[in-house]
Amino acid sequence: MALREVVTIPDEVLRRKAHKVTNFDKDLSTLVDDMFETMRQAPGVGLAAPQIDISQRVIVVEYAEEEDEKPKSFAVINPEIIKTSAETEMGIEGCLSIPNLVGEVERFSAVVVKGFNKQGKPVKIKSSGWLARIFQHEIDHLEGILFTDRATRIWQPPQEETAELPE
């Protein structure tokens, strides 16, 4: 495993629609492992391949609902949101590719994501709350959409607060 550099705005890869993954091989497995290591080191709770300058539809997510709970880890290849809740909720988001800014973003309260694991087996994940927000944020990256595009308000938080935000 290796740490990869997280690209930041205005890098063009962040605005491109990522390419569908067609080869579920050793290179993909290495990419996923590197993404997890890079995300944890950052630290973040999600990372999309375009954020490390790879225009492929790959995301990793790691999140625990409770502080003392072991986080759940997800690697999803070619993820799609196939179902959303009727309810939405506002939340504050940050992004490893947009340092020192946060914003208030409205997201669906719950989503169902389908895709493939790194071995190419189909996966379906039902999520709600912050986990659903993280999935929506990361899948947006694959479409070239940043949280600042969806935010109703953007600001620079005091330094100590940024460590507590998702992504």
Those residues with Cβ within 8 angstroms of residue 48's Cβ, 6 or more apart along the chain or in another chain: 18, 58, 59, 138, 139, 141, 142
Q: Which of 138, 143, 161, 167 is catalytic?
A: 138
The pLDDT value recorded for residue 67 is: 80
Q: Where do the domains of the chain lie?
A: 12-162
pLDDT digits (tens, 9 = 90+) for 104-132: 999 999 999 999 999 999 999 999 999 99
Q: What's the whole-number mean pLDDT along residues 136-160?
A: 94
User: Taking Cα atoms as reference points, which of 61, 70, 68, 67 lies closest to residue 125?
Assistant: 61
Q: Given this model, what pLDDT does residue 166 score?
A: 53
Residue 140 clears pLDDT 90, i.e. is over it: yes
Identify whether 138 is a catalytic site residue.
Answer: yes
Q: C-alpha distances in angstroms, 18 versus 7, 77, 93?
A: 15, 11, 22
What is the Cα–Cα distance from 63 to 82, expressed in whole angstroms? 21
Query: Could you give the percent of the chain with pLDDT greater than 90?
Result: 87
Res. 163: pLDDT tops 90: no
Q: Which CATH number fits domain 12-162: 3.20.20.220, 3.30.1490.20, 3.90.45.10, 3.40.50.970?
A: 3.90.45.10
Average of per-residue pLDDT across 143-148: 98
pLDDT at 9: 95
Taking residues 12-27, report their average pLDDT.
97
Coil/strand/helix, residue 25: coil
Of the CA atoms within 13 Å of residue 72, those in its CB half-sphere come to 13
The tally of CA atoms less than 13 A away on the side-chain side of residue 85 is 16
Residue 105 CB neighbour total at 10 angstroms: 23
pLDDT band at residue 86 under the 50/70/90 scheme? very high
Q: Which residues contact 64 (CB under 8 A, 6 or more apart)?
A: 70, 71, 72
pTM of the model: 0.92
Q: What angle (nearest 5°) sits at the alpha carbon of residue 24, between those of residues 76 and 48? A: 35
